[in-house]
Amino acid sequence: MSSSADSNLLGPVNAVVERIEHYGLYLREGERVILVLIVDISKERIARLEDVFGVGQSVSVNVLFYVPERGVYKGTMIDLVGAPS
């Protein structure tokens, strides 16, 4: 992966939940891994992500930027249709 993301890779996409951690979700969209931190999932408090999401579940995410140090894209689900409120 290059050190900067091509701008056509950013924006809304459908991705699949690959891993659930206490701090957020790891999503997969093709070859890309997208990290969505818990504060970027919903405006409302979510106590346990496992109660709302499941591995393999399809979700909508807005890809914001690439984090070269981590090798992942950063995303948000807030204000997207189909995201938890």
Of 68, 70, 1, which is closest to residue 30 (Cα–Cα)? 1
Q: How far is residue 82 from each of residues 12, 16, 41, 57, 61, measured CA to CA in Å?
A: 12, 14, 11, 12, 10
3-49 pLDDT, tens digit each = 455 666 799 999 999 999 999 999 999 999 999 999 999 988 999 99
Q: What sign has the CA pseudo-torsion 56, 83, 81, 5?
A: negative
- Phi first, then psi, for residue 54 (nearest 5°) are -135, 150
Q: What is the pLDDT of residue 9?
A: 79
Q: Which CATH number fits domain 7-76: 3.40.1160.10, 1.10.3720.10, 2.40.50.140, 2.60.120.10?
A: 2.40.50.140
Q: Average pLDDT of 40-60?
A: 94
Tokens of 17: 């939940």
